[in-house]
A and B are shown apart, each in its own frame.
Chain A
Amino acid sequence: MDWQALGLSVRLAAIVAAVLLALALPLAYWLSVTRFRGRFLIEAVVSLPLVLPPTVLGFYLLVLLGARSPIGRWWIAWTGHGLAFSFEGLVVASLIYSLPFAVQPLAAAFAQLDPSLRAASAVLGASPLRTFARITLPLSLEGVLAALVLTFAHTIGEFGVVLMVGGNLPGVTRTVSIAVYDQVQALQYDQAQATALALLVLSFGLLAAVYAIRRRPWAASTIA
């Protein structure tokens, strides 16, 4: 059992879930209310990581984050080391890789809300921000929780992108999914079994939690 790799994966997933929630909330809200005609293009871009092979995504990220790209150079100038094959690089890659898992549950939750609730809030004098904080967000908590858990679980389970962007540096970029791969390659089946089982239990637990909270505690009954 590679505890270091498991710890790294959990740390990576927690950071990604938190940052992604902050990014996805405004994006998902905008997608659910905008009348912008090109909305479908944004939706398609957000969903790309669902269908692109992780190797393709990883390749582009490597190019984007590498020492020859503006982002890579800026990062090196700022921190003194490259983004590729670093923990920070893994975070950036995972943010993009897990983006649809954060945006989709949030956008679905926002779209489900009765639009007259937002209108009522505005009529009662609330600004759009206050309406979001007091009405939209509290009534979409289920979506928020789903987004958090799904991005966390998805980040824990990623492999291809990590391999492309992070490599396999123990304590830095060696996540639990890479560890299992290594253990199998080294014919250490007992260890691989323990690690794989830990991952299976963790993933199942998280998904069970998502489905358990998929009820709508505040839904007003439609008929008195």
Chain B
Amino acid sequence: MGGIDDRLMLAASIRSRLHAGFTLDVELRAAPGITMVFGPSGSGKSTLLNCLAGLRRPDGGRIAVGDRVWFDGARGANVPVRQRNLGFVFQELALFPHMSVEQNLQYGIGRLPLAERRSRIAATAESFRIAHLLQRRPRELSGGERQRAALARALVTNPTLLLLDEPLSALDHVTQSRIIDDLRAWNGAHAIPILYVTHSHREVFALGEHLVVLDQGRLVAEGSPHTVLHAPEHEAVAQLAGFENFLDARVISRDPGSGTMRCRLLGTEVDLEAPITRVEAGDAVRIAVRAGDILLGTEQPRGLSARNVLPGTLTSVQREGATVVAMVDAGSRFEVHLTPAALTSLQLTVSQAVWLIIKTHSCRIVGRSS
């Protein structure tokens, strides 16, 4: 540590009680660059942003960007929002509807000399490709243009921290990634921490270098998107990482030699073989399986390396875009994803007998069940 990063680093520990059943309690450090803040709705993402911005006063903790302390519960220090010099792009964008894009950009830098204002607006509008839209009102812009205008308005003030609250969730993927490219380019020239809140795991993989995962007001995982989401150790993380099946089971035997253990799904006679983890025989565990990692057969397969072959009954088949979602009752309910071509060749009909094939390493232990 040390050097340039420390002077620009966001360092926050925040405690904020929302209501009797929910307290946000996190410690967070974010270096310049994009940090994805990921979590299901109700996990405390918005509360976190509001505390950082000063729109909500935490009950305790400390928030500092570089050597500027914005909040210190112990000393009772609390810098008001308007003096924090941060950028915040709201989910609703909150562009001022009665002002042109240029007036929106001007709003936060009104005290600067005219020449400085002009050059900043010109440079930022250029970075976000909205120079030709400056005279338009927000309602005359497309969705993507509005996002660009909102980003430009937040960044034209040269903030020391940028907070983005699901800013791109309403856009198509192509538009999204173009805007992100421009944001990255801007961030390359202006090194500040950017917190990007999202609940889409696609965005996490596409955009972030660094990822923190929030669940029920706690920070439950942190690291690069790939390390955090490919080997999830926490159920919330697994859910966000696109695991569709969660099964309660009890460990019945462990085989350290082969690195596997047998788990019986609760309430069934069905066993699954899973990679061994630090649990004891008799422990209750929760197993996560991606719907796309399950193979489906219409006849009992033979000569397979996969250790888990479960007989079951097809209960429903539904097409969702390019994916076919099949639900199978094999003691527990399993969600299985197929391609439309596979659906055609298998000629699946509801209530027919099927076999599920699951590799040992597709079964991930994501925690102990209660």
Contact = CB atoms under 8 A, between A and B. Distances in A.
B45 interface: no
Interface in B109-128: 111
What is the interface residue range for chain A against chain B?
A: 20 to 34
Contacts of B142: 224
B55 A220 contact: no
Interface in B147-188: 153-154, 157
Given A221-B139, A224-B142, A123 B96 contact: no
Contact of A124 (B91, B98, B143, B157): B157
B82 interface: yes
Contact of B90 (A120, A139, A220, A221): A120
A218 B137 CA distance: 9
B82 A220 contact: no
B95 A122 contact: no
B107 A121 contact: yes
Contacts of B24: none
B163 to A, nearest CB: 9
A125 B82 contact: yes
Interface string A120-151: 11111111000000110011000000000000
B243 interface: no
Interface in B69-118: 80-88, 90-92, 94-98, 107-108, 111
A119 B55 contact: yes
A135 B82 contact: no
Given A114-B92, A116-B92, A224-B143, A123 B87 contact: yes
Nearest to B141: A224
B107 A124 contact: yes
Nearest to B111: A125
A129 to B, nearest CB: 11
Contact of A138 (B85, B91, B98, B154): B98
B94 A139 contact: no
Contacts of B82: 122-127
B95 A124 contact: no
Nearest to B144: A224
B108 A124 contact: yes
A120 B139 contact: no
B81 A220 contact: no
A125 B157 contact: yes
What is the interface residue range for chain B against chain A?
A: 20 to 34
Contacts of B137: 218
B225 interface: no
B157 A218 contact: no
A101 to B, nearest CB: 26
Contacts of A41: none
B146 interface: yes
B153 A220 contact: no
A121 B81 CA distance: 10
B53 interface: yes
A219 interface: yes
A119 B90 contact: yes
Contacts of A220: 95, 97, 138-139
Contact of B88 (A114, A117, A123): A123
Contacts of A125: 82-83, 85, 108, 111, 157
Given A114-B92, A123-B87, A218 B81 contact: no
B53 A218 contact: no
Contact of A126 (B84, B85, B91, B107): B107
Contact of B97 (A121, A123, A124, A218): A218
B98 A120 contact: no
A10 B84 CA distance: 50
Contacts of A114: 92, 94
- The CB with the most chain B CB atoms within 10 A, among A114, A117, A138, A219, is that of A117
B162 to A, nearest CB: 11
Interface string A44-83: 0000000000000000000000000000000000000000
A130 to B, nearest CB: 9
B101 to A, nearest CB: 13
Nearest to B84: A123
Given A139-B98, A218-B97, A123 B86 contact: yes
Given A119-B81, A123-B87, A219-B97, 7 more contacts: A114-B92, A116-B92, A119-B53, A119-B90, A123-B88, A125-B85, A218-B139
10 contacts: A116-B91, A119-B94, A120-B88, A120-B90, A120-B94, A123-B84, A123-B87, A124-B157, A220-B95, A221-B139
Interface of A: 114, 116-117, 119-127, 134-135, 138-139, 218-221, 224
Interface of B: 53, 55, 80-88, 90-92, 94-98, 107-108, 111, 137-139, 141-143, 146, 153-154, 157
